A and B are shown apart, each in its own frame.
Chain A
Amino acid sequence: MPKILLSVCVIVLASCDFQWGIGYNQGYSPEQPIPFDHSLHVGKNQIQCQYCHNQVDRSPHSNIPALSTCMNCHNIVKTESPHIKKITEAYNKGESIAWVKVHMLPDHVKFNHSAHIAKGVNCQTCHGEIEKMTQVAQFSDLSMGWCVNCHRQPENKAPINCSTCHH
């Protein structure tokens, strides 16, 4: 009897489209539809973060680049790769790529990238050594404690009101 119950549980849970793991998502590194390699683009080719994430300094969100941004280079570069072909095809059809979201804040939290960029916070401070990642993984745990730790440092002069993040 317990065996049957256990296997039922396993089957039920396995069939759900959920992430596994306990607590925070630190280290979460889902496979992407196209294996975009940050270590190659940022690390080796030294492309600036803001070339692709161009709205990060004026928007609350750091945008995933539009396909047109990819095509700026990949019109010429490595056009024969099957992955690039996939992008070209989607681009020409007017479609898009559904990337898997890596960094997810808990509910009811608002985070603003532009405010932190204006303050001079490095991308790596929160996102880790992104230039070495072949597949992006969540570096920080993005918990409230982690946020507040930084905001509490007097030298950062950051607000620690509830409504700073929750509204």
Chain B
Amino acid sequence: MSEEQNQPAVRERDSRYYLGLDEWMKDPEFQSYVENEFQSSPIREGSEKEEGWARREFLKLMGASMAMASAGCIRRPVQKIVPYNKQPEEVTFGINNFYTSTWSDGQDFATLLVRTREGRPLKYEGNPQNPFHKSGLSARAQSHLLSLYDPERLKGPVKNIFNKDRTSRDTVTVKWDEADDAITAEIAKGQVGILTGQITGPSQKAVVLDFVNAFNASHFVWDGLNQDALLKANQKCYSTSDMPFLRFDKAKMIVSVDADFLGTWMSSTTFMSQFAEARKLNHSSMNQLVVFDSAYSLTGANADIRFRIKPSDQLWVLMGLAYELIVNQKKSKFSEDKDIINTLQPFAKAPERLKISQNVFAQMAKDLWAVKGESLIVTGGLALNHAQGEMVAIAACLLNEALENEGSTIDSNHLMLGMTASDTNLIKLIEQIENGQIKRLVIHNQNAVYASVLGARFEMALKKLDMIVYCGDRVDETGRMAHFVLPDLHAMESWSDLEPVDGVYAIHQPTIRPMYDLRSFGLTLMTWGYLTKKGPSRFKDIETYYDYLKTIIKDEVLQKYAKGKSFDTFWDELLQKGFVALPDFDKTGSKRKLNKLAFSEVKPLNAGLEGLQAAASLDLELVPYATIMFKEGSLSNVSWLHELPDPITKICWDNYAQISIALAEKLKVKEGQLLDLAVNGKQVTLPAHIQPGLHDQVVAVAVGYGRTAAGQVGNGIGQNIYHLGQLEQNQIQFSGQKVTIQVTKKDYPLACVQSHHAMEGRQIVAEVTLAEYLKNKSAGLHKHHIFSIWPAHKYNGHKWGMAIDLNSCTGCSACMVACQAENNIPVVGKKYILQGREMHWIRMDRYYVGNPSDAEIVFQPVMCQHCDNAPCETVCPVLATVHSDEGLNDMVYNRCVGTRYCSNNCPYKVRRFNWFSYTHKIDKPLHLALNPDVTVRMRGVMEKCTFCTHRIKSTKIELKTQGETYKDGDIKTACQETCPTGAIVFGDLNDPESEVSKMFFKDERSYALLEEFHAAPSVRYLTKIRNNGQPNRHNESHS
């Protein structure tokens, strides 16, 4: 590894943007792949003999059955209409109802508007008024809906009958009464523990507390992606482990060390929305993001300046930066502080060790000091799960204190109340079970047997317990160990509440009746209180969780959030608006007291070795990371998430070992070759993925895969790597462990979509540096002089168009899932993705730029461009795709005969052919998630983005029936609505005042893809700006 290689990526760059290494190397195989739009014939393919019908036989058979069919002149089957017995007041057929609710996966949260139709939820939308993420949602939040209709959810309580050693079990159904009696008889004996995830709602908190008091139980809070190191650091630095709320919107410069705050770290949807807000160019200055990345994270992809590091570098980065700021530049309140200077001394040679130029550090420290009080240093995530993780977090506190961020970008006046989960808690629980202090355990929905480094030990410990009750939605890895599995209600079936940050309270409404014989976790606990006559009156006497929630609101919430208001008014307002925020919520401040002594604990790991020697170690380090799809491994049975390609690697349906190009060359490994990884004597075999921009000494592997009891979709996808971690001196060691690689000769196909729908090397993404942009607002764009001998089409009414700001797009891929949910897009599975048959109407292109070993990333969402001179329309022999008088490129499924000419002729490769009747394979009740406004397509038709034409249609009709006229913003496409950064804007191009018109026609950054073809697309993109302090990018996009 030479010194230059670890410089910021901008220093030596190639001007080309490329989809992957195969394109970079001009691999002939890649070229033939690109040229061959359809990989294989549907008739001839398939391994099974029956599938291999020759076309001729197929046609013969078809002919015969056609003759049979026409003989009888059969028309439509008789259909029945069954009206309601009593008309529910709120149901109007075919009209959406929206309910305010919330979503949370423990770390990330959202306030929702749930769209329901005739009593069933169809789609989550963000509640546009909320102060966190506007109408934006993450891909995971969108996908959570599908878990409601999961056919493999438990339909009633079950009991596991074990053999003596609890190695095998029979799962039998049981009645609620029977289960309750057996459980209460046990837990009444005492020595009870309760393990839950992070609890953010006051009512949930109260009910668990009531249970704890009633049964004298011990409560343990744990979560797969808990912020153990940060909590410990907070405790040491501020004597309170509470997490403050972060304000990325107030930060002008952000330095992140392995904290993937745009992807998987804490409240990423909110952070993303805040980050994008501070990045909009209409502000006086644009923020700057510097990322030190062990695995290539989504945050790293959005960095202005990105450095690849290995986990053991984390501490050096932060302390090196602190040394530069405090000692070298003598800035900040600590510059005279002897203790702190002494603590920083061992890190004097950090730049040398990190092989990053001293000047870069100096500049960074200078820049940070220039915006002191408006910067933010963050660290966290799975990569901090090692012996020094806590110190890294303390170092971040030190820098934030030195830069005076406490109280401004770090808002400890508003704490993230629920963030209490930690591995320490799980360790404590296991120890208490092992030494017999706890004999009975209630677990709420935390799959600790699977999603923890301590999983195996936890499983062993569970075998010692007299009674285990698991409240989850299926018999998963942890549920298999439980005596009783009592199915909890799905979030969409239950009442609850959410207080994600001190100062905002949101109500969680159900949107469907419980589909099966289920009971909410809260009510389960209350029932036990009732049966044993234990606990406070509200706990043992109230009969429903709904009433319990109301009591809590009356007793606790009303006081805090609506002093003086009557309960009824507050309740009505709450249901209507979805949340209530204290008026001073936006005012940041600090109420923590710094304990400076904590800083002196920070020491390099090998204190005896001087920095450079320590760096000489060439050990490979393991970097476990979470993906935006599965995080710690929940929602594994949701097919939308498996089908969603990872935004960085663009691989779906698998996890893999990511290694750098140099390491791959050294090991002579090809993409997809299986590697045997050994960590601590434990093994796992994973396919290799060669990832540009990775440190040469890391092996990055995603957690959350290799589930064994997730369900039919999620089981056996990828490999579980949690067992590679270990517990050492009461500290989980997972990240940064030494890995040895044994290369096997076997290959494994990875379903990577990055080279599908490629543009044959035509560059369609535009990116410039901030300096260039300030000099010339249309820098990086090559304007074409376009003329046509034909007059342009006239659009007299509306002319729909879209503008996409690449500078806001973070590549989070939420739009892809939103589109999938909205438009009934089928999931095709790995086999067909390998053949290039994925069906997503909107794809997220990921381009690498610069030197492959240290590449930067640019994202670009591409959907049908609705060209005015659409090349697809002229070649359709049956007029199945034609233009509307509002500028839409209509696709008529009934006319389509599947010639696929249109797709061949589309320069943007946005048309998708439906090869099989995927929707016929949808198991009940998953069909309930289908959107009735959008046609479910059959095989043999072409489909593509419609600009959500059904939304345009229904809004226009609604306005018409109400006698109103259209105004800007009335119609939002699904992708636009869900985008947490507001990168996508849709509207009427004929209205010069509309937001989209302003971006489309007036913004100097606006460009159309392949403009010189004069397809005249109705979608334009705005150039991405990279604020990396560089004068220029030496390239010109061909727009």
Cβ–Cβ < 8 Å partners of B961 in chain A? 57-58, 114-115, 117-118
Residues of the A chain whose Cβ atoms lie less than 8 Å from the Cβ of B935: 108, 166-167
Q: Is A55 an interface residue (CB 8 A)?
A: yes
When distances are taken between beta carbons in the complex, the residues of chain A under 8 Å from B531 are none
Question: Is the CB–CB distance between B72 and A13 below 8 Å?
Answer: yes
> Once the chains are docked, how many angstroms separate the CA of A131 from the CA of B436?
81
Q: For residue B946, which residues in chain A have a CB less than 8 angstroms away from its CB?
A: 163, 167
Tell me which residues across on chain A come within 8 A of B960, comparing CB atoms.
Answer: 115, 118-119
Complex contact B75–A18 (CB within 8 A):
yes
From known contacts A59-B93, A63-B93, A96-B83, infer whether A17 and B78 are also in contact, taking CB-CB under 8 Å: yes
In the complex, how many residues of chain A place their beta carbon closer than 8 angstroms to a beta carbon of chain B? 54
Tell me, rounded to whole Å, the shortest Cβ–Cβ distance linking B429 to chain A: 48
Chain B residues whose CB sits within 8 angstroms of the CB of A61 once the complex forms: 93-94
Residues of the A chain whose Cβ atoms lie less than 8 Å from the Cβ of B787: none
Nearest CB in chain B: distance from A127 CB, A: 15
- Contact, CB under 8 Å: A166 / B953: no
B966 CB to nearest A CB, Å: 14
| Bound CA–CA A139/B30 (angstroms) | 59
Q: Using A67-B85, A161-B888, A163-B946 as known contacts, say yes or no to A21 and B75 having CB atoms under 8 A apart.
A: yes
Residues of A within 8 A of B92 (CB): 55, 58-59
Q: Is the CB of A68 within 8 A of B87?
A: yes
Given contact pairs A115-B960, A118-B960, A20 touches B894 in the complex (Cβ within 8 A): no
Asked whether A166 lies within 8 Å of B892 as measured between CB atoms, the reply is yes
In this complex, the member of A20, A60, A91, A162 whose beta carbon has the largest number of chain B beta carbons within 10 angstroms is A162
Instruction: Say whether A159 contacts B885, CB under 8 Å.
Output: yes
Q: How many residues of B contact A (CB 8 A)?
A: 41
The secondary structure that dominates the A interface is loop
Within 8 A of B (CB), among A62-79: 63-69
Please, how many angstroms separate the alpha-carbon atoms of A132 and B94 in the complex?
29
A21 to B77, CA, bound (A): 12
The distance from the CB of A23 to the nearest CB of chain B, in whole angstroms, is 8
Give the distance to chain B from A28, nearest Cβ to Cβ, in Å.
9
Is B78 within 8 A of A96, CB to CB? no
Of A41-49, A99-107, A146-154, the segment with at least 4 beta carbons within 8 Å of chain B is A99-107
Chain B, range 688-704, C-beta contacts under 8 Å to A? none
Contact between chains at B949 and A163 (CB < 8 Å) = yes
Alpha-carbon distance A91/B933, docked complex (angstroms): 31
Smallest Cβ-Cβ distance to B86: which chain A residue: A68
Docked pose: A17 CA to B946 CA in angstroms: 37
Taking the complex as formed, is B80 at the interface, i.e. its CB lies under 8 A from any CB of chain A?
Answer: yes
Q: A66-B84, A167-B949 are in contact. Are A59 and B94 (CB under 8 A)?
A: yes
- Are the CB atoms of A98 and B80 closer together than 8 Å? yes
Report yes or no: B85 in contact with A95, Cβ–Cβ below 8 A: yes
In the complex, residue of chain B having the shortest beta-carbon distance to the beta carbon of A161: B884
Residue B82 at the chain A interface, CB threshold 8 Å? yes
Chain A CB within 8 A of B76 CB: yes
With A18-B78, A61-B94, A162-B882 known as contacts, the answer to whether A96 contacts B934 (CB < 8 A) is no
Chain B residues with Cβ below 8 Å from A18 are: 72, 74-78
User: How far, in angstroms, from A60 to B884 measured CA to CA in the complex?
Assistant: 22
Binary interface encoding of chain A residues 4-23 relative to chain B, with 1 for a CB under 8 A from any of its CBs, else 0:
00000100010011111111
B957 partner residues in chain A, CB cutoff 8 A: 60, 112, 114-115, 118
A112 contacts which chain B residues (CB < 8 A)? 953, 957
* Chain A residues, CB < 8 A from B77: 17-19
Most chain B beta carbons < 10 A, residue from A20, A60, A68, A96: A60
Q: Could you say which residues of chain A place their CB within 8 Å of the CB of B37?
A: none
* B contact set with A: CB distance below 8 Å: 71-87, 92-95, 882, 884-886, 888, 890, 892-894, 933-935, 946, 949-950, 953-954, 957, 960-961
Chain A residues close to B by CB (< 8 Å): 9, 13, 16-23, 25, 30, 55, 57-61, 63-69, 90-91, 94-101, 104, 106-110, 112, 114-115, 117-119, 159, 161-164, 166-167
The 3 closest A-B pairs by CB, nearest first: A161-B884, A66-B87, A60-B94
Q: List 19 A-B contacts (CB under 8 A).
A: A9-B72, A16-B72, A17-B77, A19-B75, A22-B73, A25-B75, A60-B954, A66-B85, A67-B83, A95-B85, A97-B83, A108-B893, A110-B953, A118-B961, A119-B960, A162-B884, A162-B892, A163-B949, A164-B953
15 more A-B residue pairs beyond the given contacts A18-B78, A110-B933, with a C-beta to C-beta distance below 8 A = A16-B72, A21-B75, A22-B75, A55-B93, A59-B92, A60-B93, A60-B94, A61-B94, A66-B86, A101-B81, A104-B76, A108-B893, A159-B885, A161-B890, A162-B892
